[in-house]
Structure 1
Amino acid sequence: MDNEEIKLLLVKYITREADEKEVGQVKEWINAHPENEQYFAQLYETWQNMLYLQPDVINEEKAFAKFSAATIPHVPKYRVLAVWSKVAAAVALFGLLTAVLVSHYSKNVQSTRQVFVNNGGVKKIVLSDGTTVWLNAGSKLKYNTDFNKTNRTVYLEGEAFFDIAPGSKTIPFLVNTKNYTIRDIGTKFNLKAYANDSFFETTVVKGEVAVEGNIDNNTREMNRIYVKPHQVLRIYYPSAEKYAVKQDDKELKNLNEIQVSQVDSAKMDRYDGWKDDLLVFDGNTLDEISKVLERRYNVKIIMDDAELQNIRYSGSFKSISSIDKVLNLIKGNTAINYTIAGNTINITKNNKN
């Protein structure tokens, strides 16, 4: 491949618009030489950092300068003569790529649509391709105005249920989150990726999805994981408690902190019932439950006792508007007390039980 072909492939790969064949070509090029791998890692890291810049403070010239300075690799003087031709080619390629990516980024920033849902709410939207998305409390969905024209890619922070409309096979539906990307192969799935949760989770109701890791400073790209109907994939972040991978899950044998489990169809509402004003807990810890309740009722829950946080509770709640009623029901089956002051709730252990 010449420089122009590499440029186009890397841009498509980094912006998640490459097909499987192009992905394979990029990976082959990256693995061909250590300098290629370093070049790509620096380029990708800078691109990801740019995505987190605030649109209202973007300065294209400064962004270009920062991008170029950050991505051009340093070559020690004693190696200059030996690798001059390679470095010259790399610098030329960086110049082309930075121009294309900065232009691509600036265009996307100016044409991005965002949908926010505050704590205490749930919102249903229909995208231009006919896909229906339910957004849970404390969630944000972003997508470009050219959605369904050149791509069907969205970015999610929080939790959403997707009912994917049929589309062209050449334009896959992709959901980007901070750590993982989900490629839709089926029709209906729930996705949970809150920043303050200790895990990433996707649950397939119908069809199939593929999950792959994003590349950053601390993680390597993971192999694609396929999640089938009535399966739940949960990936715990490194700081969370370690979980062993099942030996018979061959696709996961080289990965850590991953769980794949089968869910009975009668219990799927534990994962997607929230969109129908239903809360279902099935052996969840009070720590997990408190995060759900904070977002659902727009409150702050204080629970400092580690032993209390690990108490498990099972129960379901339908259309309960008051968190006081929810906590009172939980209190009837667990050893807790609670007090409410405004929107702050303090949960303590009831040692009398």
Structure 2
Amino acid sequence: MSQEKIYQLLDKYASGGLTAAEQRELSELLQSLDGREFTAVTERYAQIVEQRGVPGEADTVLFERIRERIGDMEGEMRPVRTRTRWWAAAAVLLALLSAGAYLFNRQPRQIVSLKPAADTVHHEIRPGGNKAVLTLANGSTIVLDEAADGTLAQQGGTNVVKLGNGQLAYVGDGGEVSASVYNTIATPRGGQYRIALSDGTQVWLNAASSIRYPAVFGGSERRVEITGEAYFEVAKDEKRPFTVQINKSTEINVLGTHFNVNAYEDESNIRTTLLEGKVSVAVFGKQNILKPGQQGTVIYGNSGGAVQVKEVDTGEAVAWKEGMFSFKNADLRAVMRQLSRWYDVEVAYEGGNSNAVFEGKIQRELNLADVLDALRKNNVQFRIEGRKIIVRQ
């Protein structure tokens, strides 16, 4: 009965119709299977996805992790048509085992699996959400997540409107336009927010980020200033280029495009990732053109700054906007920095630096305990004291 129910839920999952509650139910059912039953279910799921395409390409390290999970229990795994197809199906099921959270530590196994610490089993820290504070031109503030839908203020000849979906928009009211009226939106740790600027440009702010912008764009350019991380979908206007000012020495110039900027002060570099169109990353006035699929990393040195350009998986850079953490070759501290900002927790470390490197995805809607459990399964030791996580390296 349980396997038949699993097949029903997997069919819904493959078609994209699985609810959060059904995903948790599927995760629990999968965890009840032994190695041979898991293999049988994987073969059945491989047949389901065959008509919908195979998710992903085979990765040697990940495949070996799957072997560790199943192969030790039943011997050599039997592929379904191709190893890639079997790998793809098994990878999906392993992700579901954690109900949306899966991480793989690429460091060779050196430590035995850890049991949950007694002080973290029942510790619940909720994920972040749509939270931000709007600062108007006169210095007054509006807590956007507490404000009712509708017109919140009038700024520079526009109405500042909170829409039903929580988004903030600037809508012309037909009055006299003033381009010198500036507003700022800032998200706290544990917050995110979306705004539509007066020209139609869409901006998503990640946690602990801000954007300063004119209520109405005037003159021959459109210029905004940001801190932290933001994703832009810039409205096209060939007569008025769009500029994102990051600091005194670095800015991004575009006409109309989709890109992500990560400029947190606690990150070692500023990274601009281009999804669509064309942008120029300028450091001390020197232009560096990016093409779609490329990431420009600003590196400062004694002689100024430079931009290193490389091809990247753009999905990783904007995963936060889609409600996911995505890690690829990320060290432990990089993982914890993202968790710290989203769950509004402090992180401290004991011992030396860990050489563990992680890959995987985690849903940002999960409670912190679920995310930490994914790390614990990969030999990360920690304890929680209030809203402080102490990581032992």
Please classify the TM superposition score into its range, dividing by the shorter chain length. Answer: 0.5 to 0.7
Would the aligned equivalents of 2:281 and 2:296 in 1 still touch at CA under 8 Å?
A: no
Matches within 5 A, 1:51-130: 111-130=181-200
- Write 1 or 2 for the structure with the bigger share of strand: 2
Q: Shift of residue 237 of structure 1?
A: 3.8
Match of 1:307 in 2: 353
SS of the residue corresponding to residue 329 of structure 1 reads helix
Taking structure 1 as reference, are residues 161 and 148 closer, same or farther at Cα in structure 2, changes over 3 Å only? farther
Match of 1:232 in 2: 295
Letter in 2 for 1:175: V
Aligned counterparts of 1:269 and 1:223: Cα–Cα separation in 2? 28
SS of the residue corresponding to residue 307 of structure 1 reads coil
Aligned residue among 255, 259, 278 for 2:308: 259
Aligned counterparts of 1:330 and 1:257: Cα–Cα separation in 2? 35
Would the aligned equivalents of 1:135 and 1:159 in 2 still touch at CA under 8 Å?
A: yes
Aligned residue among 377, 380, 383 for 1:336: 380
Work out whether 1:289 is the aligned partner of 2:335: yes
Would the aligned equivalents of 2:324 and 2:362 in 1 still touch at CA under 8 Å?
A: yes
- Write 1 or 2 for the structure with the bigger share of helix: 1
SS of the residue corresponding to residue 191 of structure 2 reads coil
Aligned counterparts of 1:256 and 1:152: Cα–Cα separation in 2? 25
SS of the residue corresponding to residue 292 of structure 2 reads coil
Aligned counterparts of 1:185 and 1:258: Cα–Cα separation in 2? 20
Letter in 1 for 2:299: Y
Would the aligned equivalents of 1:320 and 1:326 in 2 still touch at CA under 8 Å?
A: no
Aligned residue among 272, 276, 280 for 1:202: 272
State the Cα RMSD in Å.
Answer: 2.5
Q: Shift of residue 144 of structure 1?
A: 2.0
Aligned counterparts of 1:345 and 1:238: Cα–Cα separation in 2? 33
Using the size of structure 2 for normalisation, the TM-score is: 0.51
Aligned counterparts of 2:383 and 2:306: Cα–Cα separation in 1? 36
Q: Shift of residue 260 of structure 1?
A: 1.6
Match of 1:133 in 2: 203
SS of the residue corresponding to residue 197 of structure 1 reads coil
SS of the residue corresponding to residue 212 of structure 1 reads strand
Q: Shift of residue 338 of structure 1?
A: 0.9
Q: Deviations over 1:278-326 (max 9, x none)?
A: 1100011111111111111111111244422x42111101243312211
Q: Shift of residue 332 of structure 1?
A: 1.4
Would the aligned equivalents of 1:339 and 1:345 in 2 still touch at CA under 8 Å?
A: yes
Aligned counterparts of 1:304 and 1:193: Cα–Cα separation in 2? 27
Q: Percent identity?
A: 29
Match of 1:147 in 2: 217
Would the aligned equivalents of 1:129 and 1:148 in 2 still touch at CA under 8 Å?
A: no
For structure 1, list consecutive stretches of 5 or more residues without a partner in the other structure.
Answer: 1-54, 57-106, 214-220, 240-253
Aligned residue among 360, 363, 370 for 1:318: 363
Aligned counterparts of 1:279 and 1:328: Cα–Cα separation in 2? 15
Would the aligned equivalents of 1:208 and 1:228 in 2 still touch at CA under 8 Å?
A: yes
Work out whether 1:277 is the aligned partner of 2:323: yes
Q: Deviations over 1:321-341 (max 9, x none)?
A: 3122112212212x3211111
Aligned counterparts of 2:301 and 2:345: Cα–Cα separation in 1? 28
Taking structure 1 as reference, are residues 157 and 319 closer, same or farther at Cα in structure 2, changes over 3 Å only? closer
Q: Deviations over 1:218-259 (max 9, x none)?
A: xxx2520001100011123449xxxxxxxxxxxxxx986643
Taking structure 1 as reference, are residues 303 and 163 closer, same or farther at Cα in structure 2, changes over 3 Å only? same
Match of 2:392 in 1: 348
Aligned counterparts of 1:152 and 1:205: Cα–Cα separation in 2? 20
For structure 2, list consecutive stretches of 5 or more residues without a partner in the other structure.
Answer: 1-137, 140-177
Match of 2:142 in 1: none
Would the aligned equivalents of 2:296 and 2:307 in 1 still touch at CA under 8 Å?
A: yes
Letter in 2 for 1:233: G
Would the aligned equivalents of 1:128 and 1:148 in 2 still touch at CA under 8 Å?
A: no
Letter in 2 for 1:259: Q
Match of 2:156 in 1: none
Aligned counterparts of 1:155 and 1:235: Cα–Cα separation in 2? 17
Taking structure 1 as reference, are residues 118 and 146 closer, same or farther at Cα in structure 2, changes over 3 Å only? same
If asked which structure has higher relative contact order (CA below 8 Å, sep 6+), I would say 2
Taking structure 1 as reference, are residues 305 and 183 closer, same or farther at Cα in structure 2, changes over 3 Å only? farther
Would the aligned equivalents of 2:274 and 2:314 in 1 still touch at CA under 8 Å?
A: no
Aligned counterparts of 2:212 and 2:342: Cα–Cα separation in 1? 21
Aligned counterparts of 1:132 and 1:256: Cα–Cα separation in 2? 29
Aligned counterparts of 2:252 and 2:211: Cα–Cα separation in 1? 14
Aligned residue among 160, 164, 178 for 2:230: 160
Taking structure 1 as reference, are residues 329 and 143 closer, same or farther at Cα in structure 2, changes over 3 Å only? same
Letter in 2 for 1:303: Y
Aligned counterparts of 1:121 and 1:145: Cα–Cα separation in 2? 22
